[in-house]
Amino acid sequence: MFVGQCTRIGAPARDRRLAAMRMAGGTPSEIRTVVLLETGLASLLGSLVGGLGYLVAHLLAGPAGGPVTANTPGVGISETNDGTTIIEHAPGGRLLPTDVVPHSWLIIVALLLVPAAATAGAVVALRRTAITPFGVIHRDDHRPPSITPAILFLIGTVGLASWQGIFALLPFSLQQSTWLLPAATLPLFLLTLAGLVFGSASLAYHLGRLVAPRTRRPALLIAARRMVDAPYTASRATTAVILAVLLGAAVQGVREAILRETSGYDDPFYSNTFDLLDMVLVVAIGLACASLLVVSAEGVVTRRRTLAALSAGGTSRHTLAAATLWETALPLVPTTLLAAIAGILAARGLYGQTGGDPSGPATVPVPWLPLGALVVGTVLAALVATAIALVFLPRSTSVTELRTAA
């Protein structure tokens, strides 16, 4: 999602440029070739830089900068009867398993998959411009978002939350099938995610209509009117954030259930595994906020003619900055809460609300503290990312930007 957001940086100006090429006689295949080259080469360069950064970080994070040996501090090496070598790390000795190196073909596939996906996404996004230059002018859609995403969200969330009851009604032969759980829950999870992602546009639209007539604060009024006028733009910025919160809440619910079942084990494998998942979630939220930063910065630059007109009419930069923050916060807070609720309901629906421990079955508690930290931390990180994007605001409010093409 982060790569997809990056491919749309400067999209309006690029659409106009490609439309001008079409009107000058360029064929659709030539336009697609231009998009393939400029997006593919840029993303391939970024992929190679990222791969080089991974190799450097791997070498720096490795034990003593070299291979693991019996004399490496915090590392113990032993062999089993069948000759298998076991590498054990002392508590606190290693943050990540950097002694494990993926196969070279996996690294190559990862380095090529990102630019390939970015290029394909850019070509699909610009398909109308490649077909006809007039699609750039007539592309705006001012119809209010439908309630279909809300229905999808309810179907997915209710299905996941009531999975234990649905499972008990199935025939015994189906209950013993190993394919049933992933085959049934994955579509429900995708329905929930689609409802959240596409429903955020509807939520932004209706929130804007609710707030605009009732507020007396200029910043809030500008943000609300913007949400009504372009709800899909406001929702597109929070797509990756919603996905990260949904997965994070589900992981926290599964963690409580699994750790309750394995509380009598001496092996800390499960606890360490979920600690590692928490680190992955932190990285995912960081990428989601980076995606939000890209979209927010693009929005400020793209709307520079409107922002310059507001500034020339007497609106202060402080008000415009506050409006940008409100535009992010208003749809983000309720959708983040809905994502967290859906994630924890899915985990409790799939793994049940009771679990066994050494003293017998007990109710699995709701992880209120991790959920609260997830929601509050994500919202704060998203607002910080949006605030960073405001560095482009002074230039975008310059009176010279009034000459920018609409």
Burial class (CB in 10 A: 0-12, 13-18, 19+), 182: exposed
Percentage of the chain lying above the pLDDT 70 cut:
79
Residue 265 CA to residue 357 CA, distance in Å, equals 10
**Cα→Cα distances 142→139, 205, 231, 232, 307, Å:** 10, 11, 9, 10, 21
- Locate the DSSP E strands across 121-200: none
Tokens of 44: 């391939």
Q: Which residue has the higher pLDDT, 73 or 245?
A: 245
Residue 85's SS3 state is strand
**What does the alpha-carbon distance between residue 218 and residue 324 come to, in Å, rounded to a whole number?**
12
**pLDDT for residue 274 is more than 80:** yes
**pLDDT tens digits for range 351-369:** 777 765 556 566 778 889 9
pLDDT interval class at 26 (50, 70, 90)? confident
Residue that has been written with the tokens 């709800």 in this structure: 231
Residues 6+ apart with CB under 8 A from 129: 15, 18, 19, 22, 31, 135, 136
pLDDT interval class at 380 (50, 70, 90): very high
Mean pLDDT over the full length of the chain: 79
> Does residue 29 surpass a pLDDT of 60?
yes
* Best CA proximity match to 318, nearest among 208, 214, 218: 218
State pLDDT tens for residues 210-263: 998 988 899 999 989 988 888 877 677 677 888 889 999 999 988 888 888 877
Mean pLDDT of 334-341: 92
| Higher local confidence (pLDDT), 248 or 269 | 248
pLDDT confidence of residue 131: 58
Entry pTM: 0.75
Angle at alpha carbon of residue 116, lines to 186 and 140, rounded to 5°? 75
| Among 161, 144, 136, residue whose Cα is nearest residue 199 | 144
Q: Give the model's confidence band at 381: pLDDT under 50 very low, under 70 low, under 90 confident, else very high.
A: very high
Max mean pLDDT among 17-31, 162-176, 191-205 falls in 191-205
Instruction: Specify the pLDDT at position 64.
Output: 47
- Of these ranges, 166-170, 208-212, 298-302, the one predicted with the greatest mean pLDDT is 208-212
pLDDT value at position 341? 92
Q: How far is CA 290 from CA 47, 301, 321, in A?
A: 16, 17, 19
49: confidence class by pLDDT, cuts 50, 70, 90: very high
- pLDDT score recorded for residue 351: 78
CA distance linking residue 130 with residue 18, whole number of Å: 8
Q: What is the pLDDT of residue 306?
A: 85
Q: For the CA atoms of the chain, what is the radius of gyration?
A: 25
Residue 138 has pLDDT above 50, yes or no: no
**Structure confidence at residue 221 (pLDDT):** 92
- Interatomic CA distance for residues 325 and 320, integer angstroms: 9
Q: What's the farthest any 2 CA atoms get from each other in the chain?
A: 81
Q: Rounded CA gap, 114 and 58, in Å?
A: 20
pLDDT > 50? residue 326: yes
Query: What 8-state DSSP symbol labels residue 170?
Result: S
Long-range contacts of the stretch 66-71 (C-beta < 8 A, 24+): 68/99
Distance CA 284, CA 374 (A): 12
Task: Decide: 109 and 95 in contact? Cβ < 8 Å.
Answer: no
Rounded CA gap, 237 and 17, in Å?
Answer: 24
Above 80 in pLDDT, residue 290?
yes
Give yes or no for a contact between 338 and 184, defined as CB atoms under 8 angstroms apart. Answer: no
CA dihedral for 109, 111, 115, 118, sign (positive or negative) = positive
Most confident of 2-11, 175-184, 293-302: 293-302
pLDDT(206) > 70: yes
Mapped onto helix, strand or coil, the DSSP state of residue 362 is: strand
Kindly report the length of the chain: 406
Separation between Cα atoms, residue 100 and residue 3, nearest integer Å: 27
Strand partners, 354: 363
- Do the beta carbons of residue 397 and residue 320 sit within 8 Å? yes
The answer to whether 36 and 125 have CB atoms below 8 angstroms apart is no
Chain centre distance of CA 271: 25
pLDDT at position 72 over 60: no
Mean pLDDT across the stretch 340-354?
Answer: 84
| Helix 239-261 vs helix 317-351: crossing angle, to nearest 10 | 30
- Residue 46 backbone dihedrals phi, psi, to 5 degrees: -65, -40
Query: What pLDDT, on a 0 to 100 scale, did the predictor assign at position 135?
Result: 52
- CA 37 centroid distance within chain: 26
Which one has a higher pLDDT value, 29 or 76? 29
